[in-house]
Amino acid sequence: MALRHQMDKIISFKNVFLIVSLNVSLYPGPSEMWLKTCKQIDSYKKLTSEIDRETVIKIYIKKVLDCIKKFIDYFVQSRSTTIFTYTDGTYEEEYSCWPPAICMILISIAEIVLFCYDAAQGKTDATGPIAQIFIYNPHKRQEAWRFLTYMLVHVGVVHLLVNLLVQLFLGVPLEMVHRWWRVVLVYLAGVAAGSLATSLTDPKVYLAGASGGVYALIAAHIATIIMNWAEMEFAIIQLLVFLLLAAVDVGTAVYDRYWRHLQQNIGYVAHLAGAVAGLLVGIGVLRNLEKRKWEKRLWWAAVVLYFSLMIGGVLANIFWTSHFQTT
């Protein structure tokens, strides 16, 4: 019996040893488990770092797209909410004296002061010291400021008074609704477009006067009538008045030049280019009280067309040197 008991103990110990050895072979030890865990952590870190990198890129792209959308919506979207709807006559209610509409007044004062300075020198025909610095001179196109500053130079008192009256009567009401910076953008866009177009069509012509900006303001009124048609009172009458004024001016210019054969020192190309720029920029930057689908498409068309024309004009003035040498 004692021998049998000893044999049972040996067999039981042997079984335990086999079980332990089997467990060791099936399950790795602590060191192997540690190495395996480290490998898993490294692969996890690599995976998460790649995911984090992609996530960050996606977040930045989304932020950029959101900024672009907000910039576009700032000009295109209406100020209305889902509760309030603009109706006929709402545009007229937008007139405000605050902030004061003084930008066009300040530009007019600057033009008067510079003209008076040259007049004090006995020069009222754009040949004074100020005029020589600011006038658009086709032989000094490298002086880029002249493409804008020619608006400060006027040939005679009548030329100055006509431009002042028109830009004040048209510019100030626009400022009261659309704020000063929008009106200044329209005005300067017309001035720049006038000089660029004239430099390409009539390379030898000198330019003086703010007519490009004035015609831009006229066209901007047409633009705001189009974009706020349903919110304006008597929109059709206002549109017809401005179209009639434009038609009379263009018709008179064509008649004087091609039928009466009068040689007048009037930059008709600058007038036309200023009007086109005023219409396109007016659609782009002036306030649209209530956005509609077709107005958004019109906005995109105006912005793309304006920048295409302006970039083309600038590049032509820079690189088309043969055009200016042979004419």
Measure the CA–CA gap between 191 and 176, rounded to whole angstroms: 21
Instruction: List active site positions.
Output: 211, 271
Burial environment of residue 239 by CB neighbours within 10 A (0 to 12, 13 to 18, 19 or more): middle
Residue labelled with tokens 């005023």 = 278
Measure the CA–CA gap between 243 and 253, rounded to whole angstroms: 15
Q: Is 119 within 8 Å of 131 (Cβ atoms)?
A: no
Sign of CA dihedral 79, 85, 91, 93: negative
Measure the CA–CA gap between 212 and 192, rounded to whole angstroms: 8
A 10 A CB-CB count for 294 gives 8
